Structure formats: structure tokens, C-alpha cells
Chains A and B, each alone.
Chain A
């Protein structure tokens, strides 16, 4: 037996023994996610048990090095673990902005001391992070951000406002893009700084969205004192001072890839045609609404081709080919496709799905989801910004 096969057998046995039955329902919706953090209220004992057991093994973040709380697994082993978890419909034990966003930045730009201090609590689900990027006057033009961060000798002084900070009201820490040199050109005076949400002067206010939900906040910084170091050699700033835009750009690319992959991932669940057939009915083996049928079939073609493109881009990257800026193409296409997909599900759902409250629609679950997708092509860089990037970096068009 190869090493990988041994690993698979052992992993299967371990999961079988340690994954609680309640965590094997394949539930993946946002409402079932375990986010962790100081204020996290576990939805069940099983959710806590599952997190603790996986964290102890380093498998909440299996690819990270062991010394930072990860599992130290190879790419092939991570794939094996994921496929075994899928096979038993195991839920993910932990998801968070710490894992998705901060950790990639720390792993690439952080010092050993920063990694050793900040990563293990993320892996264990003890600290929940949020992202402070956009400002009221810095959206698509993110680099024009104005949140001020002054060097006061023994500490930094932060003043300003962030917006669209996801779950800031439920988070323990925030990673923030701040302006440390107002005299430099706009991309050159930005730093990437880590701030405790409990620090005096930090406050949040949820933003109610058209979906009726409030996943985002405004976050205010009023004379917030941030220590230069959180312990010996543990700087509050990630990467070099005034070079935070490099970190931000790296994370934005990463975020784009995640958003587009997420858009594709949704496809895997159930086909649009299947959902529509259930709602609109079938006549002579065909969807009873012929115009909707044709639109859905066209969308399924694009969805399938998009999934294959995600796969191809991954394979190209592995083979050392491909274009980095293609993440913009995937973000653009994936988010626009997801919006189209939800429009079609609303079309198929008809008036029944318009019930905003009540058990019949699970309080308008689809309608709220449909409204949520409208942000897909805005957050992480709008579709128009992605098209600009494709025109400039891939097509090499002039003056873009």
C-alpha cells in the first residue's frame, strides 16, 4: 500500500470515530457555519466537539505548518482528507476570515513571531477576525483610502472609518488598511495593521441590507491607540511599513479566487433544471415553461463550462502555465453567473418564493439569498473593475 493509501485508510478510521453523527448531514449553508471566536455560541455540543477534535489534530487548517496550529499535510494528503470528509458528508469544523484572508497574508508576509502568535488561535477557532478595507470614499478606488495611522513613538494612533467590514460586530480582531504616509503617492503610503476590536475607541454599527440581514458593519476608529508590538518582536504591522498595498493586492487576488470558486461550488449541489422541474413541473419530459427551460439550459451550459475553466486554471497553475490576472476573469464570470443562477431560481419559484416571512419559505430564504448575490459582483472588486484589469493586464489594451 502506498503512503497515501495508508493515510487514506487511517484518516477514514479516525473520522469515523471522531466526527459526531450530527455533523454528518452535509449542511454547508452560511447559517450552519461554525465561525468560532470569543463570543461564539455553539449551535450544538456536537459542533463544539467536532471543532475541538479537529483543532487538536491540526485539521481545521490541514495545510498549515504544525508549529502554527496546522496539520502539516501535503497537498495530496489535504485532498485525501477533504475527499474522505465529503464522502461521509462531514461539515467543515471551522470557517473564518482568519483562515481565508488573514492567514494567507501572514503566511506570506508575516514574521515567524507574528505567525506563532496569531495563527494558532485562528486554527483553534478561539479568535475571530474581520477585514477593514473599504471606506465610504474608497470603494472600487480602494487605494485612495484615508483611515489615518500616525506614529506616536511608542504606539500608533488610528483615526477613521471603515465600511463593509463583514461581521465586525461579532469579531475579536480586525486587520486594517491604514494610511501611514499621507505625503506619499496613493499606493505607497498604506500599511496593513492588526487591531484588537476591544481597544478603546473602536466601535461598530451593523448595516441592514436589502436582504434584511446585516452581515456587514461600519467600523469607526476614534483615537485608537495600537501598540507597536504585541509582545517581543510581534509587530502590529504585517509586511513593511508603507508597503501594505502589496499585502492588500495579494489578498484581493486571493479573495477573488475564493469568491469565484464559491460561485462555482454552489453549482455542485443541485442542478438548476432539477430545481425548476420540481417547482414548475414537467410536461412530456420537458420543463412545462419552454422559455424558462431554454434559459436554464443555456445557464447550465455556461455553469458547466465555468467549472471546467476553474479546473483548467488550477491545472495550468500546477503546470507552471497560465496568467495570474485570470483570477479577475474567474471573479467576473463566477459572480455574474451566480446572479444569473439566482434570478432563474426566482423565476422558477414564482410568487411562492416572494413570501418574505413564514415557514413556507423559511422566512424568504431563497429571496434573501437572491438579494445577497447582488453584492457578489460588487465586493472584492466590482465586475467593471475586473473587466478593467483583464483589458489592461491580459489584453494589454492602451491607457486602461
Chain B
């Protein structure tokens, strides 16, 4: 498949850019932060996004979705990255929709996919328990009890955890922390007895939570996928999230880069535009090259998720690793080249640096994915 967007996807990109520039510029995120918004996103905006088909971008048409596939989801994630739009898109429309489509029962699909597409239900995926990502490190227990399970443990860095109606959580029904075998995924009601949610205010002003599970009861019907064999299923869902985050970082990096190039053409020192200085030109040109490499890796990862979902692990690691590095470089160069003004809260560039730092950490940073790729390649 050629590594370019087709006409339909180009149109999606164009309409997304127009909509977000008008309805959700960086100022919208600033406002949510400044007014200490309890949801951390605008429910009205999310409704509009759902009406345009964004919430159900991955959901098939039979369940009321737009069915644009991962490339389409990536286009939206990238555009939302450009404007740093806060929304439940990643948690609900990418992670949960993927989990439901790939591993859930027909009953679960029937129940939730139409609601996701309609923007009527919010999900969160709870995986990590420690400060560094690692699904196999899961220690949270899912003790077999009667016909069901009792879940106990602590999850951290759960995107949209405090607004979610439903939580998909990874817990250990067998084995010990560090092992891939023995994981089971559960789909729980956020209001279940024993679930306590603490919203964590993050550096990027976006949503996250720590969630405590204290003897939460789950039945066999709450299980998605296989009991004890949830690791690979979880990896698949995480891969989709990684590619989505990479696309978002790519959008943020490109927007920051464009702001910086404009600034280099305006700002004068020593009697000339600072963009005429070769020291800055070469750094800008190098960064341009890195951004192009990042874009290629991400587009390929999204295409592969659509074409060979089960084999997209390595390419998603490539995309996440490369995006993490390049977006970080882009945000650092942006602040440095803006000089003092880049350090001010009033100027937007700092918001980009903060969001990129968080997206970089989520579901594995560059080091995690670099190591993973080396392992996959046998060294």
C-alpha cells in the first residue's frame, strides 16, 4: 500500500483542521486549566465530535460508526495534537473501541460500540501500576472467588480515569508480577463497589487518575478475552494506543515547528531576522528531516494496524520510539529558539512541551520501545 493518504482521508484531515482551529485551539485547553474544569474536557465539544463521526472513527458501520480504520484515527489524533485538544478520543475511541472490536464478546460489542460512536459512554484503560510502563509487571490480583473474581490493586496514570463510565483493567488471575502469562482483562463499571478514583492533576493539564480496587467483584461476563491469556490481547490494544499517541505527538511537533519557523522569520536581533543565522538554519533543517522520518514511521504503523493487526507490534514500537524522540527534540528546539518568550506561560509553546512529555511517557517511552525492538530482533 502506498505511504500516502487517499483523497477521503485528506478530506477528513482538512475538515478536522478547520473544525479544531475554530472550536478547540490551544486557548480552549488553557481555559479548561484556568477555570479548573472538573471534567478536564468539554462535553459539548465531544458531542459535536461524535456527531461528525469522530467518536466512532474505528467503529464499524453496523454499530453506527464511521469505520475509517486506524489511519483515519491517526489523522484525527494528529490534528488534535496540533491544537492540543483535550478529549476522551484516545481512551474511548481508540483504546476501548479496539479492545471491544478485537477481543470482546458479541454481547459487549452490541452493548457498547453504538454508544461509543454516539459519544454516550466514556471508557478508561487501566494498565500501569508503577512509574514506568510495563504490562507484564502487573501485580493487581484477580482472585477466583465462586463463579467470579475479586479484584484488588492500584492503578496509576489512567487517562480519563476520573470521567470514565467504564474501566477496562488488566489484573493477574495467575502467575506472578513480571510474567506475561496469567493476565486477564475485565470490563467494569466505574461505580462498582470498591473502586475509588483520585484525579491526578498532570503537567499537561489533561486528564489522568489513580484508581484503587479494593475487593471489587467481577463475574465471568465481565471478562474480555481469555482468562489468564490476556497479555497478547492487551498488547494489541496498547499498540493501537501507541500509534495513536505517536500521531498526536507528530501533530504537536509539527505545530510547534511551524510556530518556531514563523518566529524565526519575524524576530529580529543584530539587525536581521534570526532565521537568517546559519546556526539556527541548520538545526531547523535537521529537525525538519527528523520530523519527516517520524511521519513515515507513524503512517506505516497505522497502515499495518489496519492491514495486519496482530503483527503490528514492532512497527508500533518504532513509531512510538521515534515520535517520542523527535517530538521531544521539536519541543526543546521550539522553546530554545523562541528564547525568553518561550518560557512564559502566556505563550503557547510551553503547552506543547508539556503535552509531548506526557504522551512520550504513556504506554512506554522511547527507551522502553527501543529495548523492545532490540529484543524482537534477537539482540
Contacts and interface: CB of A to CB of B under 8 A. Distances in A.
Interface residues of B, number: 38
A281 B97 CA distance: 43
B131 interface: no
Interface stretch (B74-82, B214-222, B287-295): B287-295
A398 interface: yes
Given A273-B378, A400-B276, A308 B261 contact: no
Interface stretch (A178-186, A187-195, A385-393): A385-393
Contact of A388 (B4, B264, B281, B318): B281
A294 B321 CA distance: 13
Interface in A140-169: none
A298 interface: yes
Contacts of B275: 397-399
Contacts of A329: 285, 288-289, 292
Contact of B296 (A300, A309, A390, A398): A309
B338 to A, nearest CB: 15
A161 B350 CA distance: 55
Contacts of B292: 309, 326, 329
B294 A305 contact: yes
Interface in A89-119: none
A277 interface: yes
A276 B377 CA distance: 12
A67 interface: no
A326 B281 CA distance: 16
Nearest to A277: B379
Given A297-B371, A387-B282, A302 B379 contact: no
A296 B374 contact: yes
B285 A297 contact: no
Interface in B258-296: 261, 264-265, 272-273, 275-276, 278, 280-282, 284-286, 288-289, 292-296
A75 interface: no
Interface in A256-297: 271, 273-274, 276-277, 282, 285-287, 293-294, 296-297
A399 B275 CA distance: 8
A213 B374 CA distance: 35
Nearest to A386: B285
Interface in A356-400: 384, 386-388, 390-391, 394-400
B379 A286 contact: yes
Interface in A289-324: 293-294, 296-298, 300-302, 304-306, 308-309, 311-312, 315-316, 318-319, 321
B3 A312 contact: yes
B4 A300 contact: no
A332 B281 CA distance: 14
A333 interface: yes
Interface in B341-374: 370-371, 373-374
Contact of A321 (B4, B286, B296, B322): B4
Contact of B284 (A293, A298, A301, A397): A397
Interface of A: 271, 273-274, 276-277, 282, 285-287, 293-294, 296-298, 300-302, 304-306, 308-309, 311-312, 315-316, 318-319, 321, 326, 329, 332-333, 384, 386-388, 390-391, 394-400
22 contacts: A273-B379, A286-B374, A287-B379, A294-B370, A294-B371, A294-B374, A300-B373, A308-B3, A309-B292, A312-B299, A316-B4, A318-B2, A329-B285, A329-B292, A332-B285, A391-B282, A391-B285, A395-B281, A397-B261, A397-B281, A399-B273, A400-B276
